[in-house]
Amino acid sequence: MGVALLTQVSRRYFRHAIPLAVLSLLLLYLCARSFRVVSGCRSWAQSCNPEGPPPVQVRRQSGPLEAPKWKEPPCEGPQGVLGRVMEPFRASLNPEGDVALSQYLAGWRALVRFLTPLGSIFAFATDEASAKVTALEARVHGPEAAHYSSLAAMAAWERRAGLLERPGVAPRDPARSSGSRTLLLLHRALRWSQLCLHRVAAATPGGPDAGVQCGDAYRTALAPHHPWLVRQAARLAFLAFPGRGRWLGLACPGAGETEARAALARAAATLEAVYNRTQGLLAERGLLGLA
């Protein structure tokens, strides 16, 4: 009986032990194979030579990832040529959706200083712009300054005071134009400047030169509002327009062509934002037909 009992126990032991052994060997095999894959070894290889560095080395070599920092070109800084133009124009776009006149006019002063060295084609434009800026500054800093803090405030005040011209009727004395009409004329000139800067910045090699592009911008933004004689004078002046290299050199002195073109494009985008805001405000108040 003792022998029979031992035999039964042995059979029961082997019946359970063999499957456990097989399972253990299988798990050991799978773990070893997984180790080969994780460590970079090919499965079924005679020897394990990882194809890449161990995970610890990868982490040490890679380190924290940092995005490259963009460095502002000097010409876009506070004392740069384009920076002095963009900063006041940006500041004129106040959070209330209006246009602050003092900052808008400061931007125009800087824009005139930038455009003047480009030659005679800008003489009539910058002279006219300077005269209009001076006329508006007299209101912004004059006895009625409280009504000329912004475009919306100016338009509302001049409408209440009966100072607005009838649409399409020019005043006998241009010096006595309303502030709203004067701003409209500056607004159109800003569109020309913006289009000109943008097209010079975005021009492709071998494409139209700067004179052709800015001449097209003039015909789009200003020519429809100018008499025939002024349009002919402008057409002739564009023949002596400075080349793209002159533009880029003045806009971003010392910078490479790619950097200067990018800076000029950002300046054009700033002017476009100001133009769009002003256009919307003038249209809402029915002032686009004052001149």
- Answer yes or no: do 143 and 78 share one domain: yes
Q: Which pLDDT score, from 0 to 100, does residue 169 have?
A: 80
Mean pLDDT (whole number) for 64-78 = 68
pLDDT in tens, 155-193: 999 999 999 998 878 787 777 899 999 999 999 999 999
Please report the DSSP string for 18-58 in residue order. Answer: HHHHHHHHHHHHHHHHHHHHHTTPPTT-SS---SS--HHHH
**Coil, strand or helix at 168:** coil
| Residue 254 DSSP SS3 | coil
Considering only CA atoms, give the Rg of the chain.
37
Residue 237: pLDDT above 90?
A: no
Instruction: Check which CATH number belongs to the domain holding 240 and give it.
Output: 1.10.3520.10
19: buried, middle or exposed (CB in 10 Å: 19+, 13-18, 0-12)?
Answer: exposed
Q: How far is CA 17 from CA 22, 28, 72, in A?
A: 9, 16, 74
Q: Give helix 244-251 / helix 210-221 axis angle, nearest 10°.
A: 80
Q: Which string of b and e fits 255-270 if b means at least 16 CB within 10 Å?
A: beeebbbbbbebbbeb
pLDDT for 72 equals 77
What are the helix (H) ranges across the chain? 2-38, 55-62, 81-92, 101-115, 123-140, 151-160, 179-202, 210-221, 228-237, 244-251, 257-284
pLDDT at 116: 83
User: What is the reported pLDDT for 209?
Assistant: 83
- Cα–Cα distance measured from residue 149 to residue 212, given in angstroms and rounded to the nearest whole number: 38
Is 15 within the bounds of a domain? yes
Minimum mean pLDDT range among 162-166, 204-208, 252-256: 204-208
Please check whether residues 5 and 85 belong to one and the same domain: no
pLDDT for the residue numbered 123: 65
What confidence category does residue 122 fall into, taking pLDDT thresholds of 50, 70 and 90? Answer: low
Q: What is the mean pLDDT of the chain?
A: 78
Which residue do the tokens 């800087």 mark?
Answer: 110
What would the pLDDT profile of 34-57 be if each residue is shown by its tens digit? Answer: 334 334 444 333 444 444 444 334
Nearest Cα residue to 200 out of 115, 278, 125? 115
Percent of the chain whose pLDDT exceeds 90: 49
Q: Is residue 67 part of a domain?
A: no
Amino acid identity of residue 238, one-letter, is F
Please tell me the total count of domains within the chain. Answer: 2
Query: Rounded to whole angstroms, what are the CA distances from 32 to 28, 90, 101, 234?
Result: 6, 65, 76, 83
d(CA 179, CA 137) in angstroms, rounded, equals 10
Span 97-106, average pLDDT: 98
- Residue 208's pLDDT is 82
**Which residue has better confidence, 128 or 61?**
128
- 80/7 same-domain check: no
Residue 43 in domain: no
- pLDDT of 120 reads 61
Question: Which is higher by pLDDT, 4 or 253?
Answer: 253
Answer whether residue 60 is part of any domain. no
How far is it, in rounded angstroms, from Cα 238 to Cα 192? 13
pLDDT for 17 beyond 50: no
Instruction: Report pLDDT for 20.
Output: 39
Average pLDDT for 217-224: 90
Model confidence at 205, in pLDDT bands (50, 70, 90)? confident
**Which structural domain range is residue 209 located in?**
74-284
Task: Say if 269 falls within a structural domain.
Answer: yes
pLDDT of 113 > 60? The answer is yes
For residues 22-42, give the mean pLDDT.
39
Asked if residue 289 is part of any domain, the answer here is: no
**What is residue 240's predicted lDDT score, i.e. its pLDDT?**
77
Q: Are residues 10 and 109 in the same domain?
A: no
Residue 62 falls inside a structural domain: no
| pLDDT at 125 (0 to 100) | 67
